[in-house]
Amino acid sequence: MTDYVPINCNCHDHLEALATLSKRCRIVYQTADGKIIETLDTIADIYTKHQEEFAVLGSGETIRLDTLKEVDGQSIDSGSH
> What is the CATH classification number for the domain harbouring 52?
2.30.30
Query: Is there a domain that residue 4 lies in?
Result: no
Query: Is there a domain that residue 81 lies in?
Result: no
Mean pLDDT of 35-54: 96
In this model, does residue 81 exceed pLDDT 60? no
Query: Is there a domain that residue 3 lies in?
Result: no
Total domain count for the chain? 1
CA atoms within 13 A on the CB side of 45: 8
Range of the domain at 18: 9-75
What does the H/E/C string look like for the chain?
Answer: CCCCCCECHHHHHHHHHHHHHCCCEEEEEECCCCCEEEEEECEEEEEEECCEEEEEECCCCEEEHHHEEEECCEECCECCC
Instruction: Write out pLDDT tens, residues 45-73.
Output: 999 999 999 999 999 999 999 999 999 99
- pLDDT attached to residue 79: 61
Percentage of the chain modeled with pLDDT above 70 = 95
pTM of the model: 0.89
The rounded distance, in Å, linking the Cα atoms of 75 and 71 is 7
- pLDDT attached to residue 65: 96
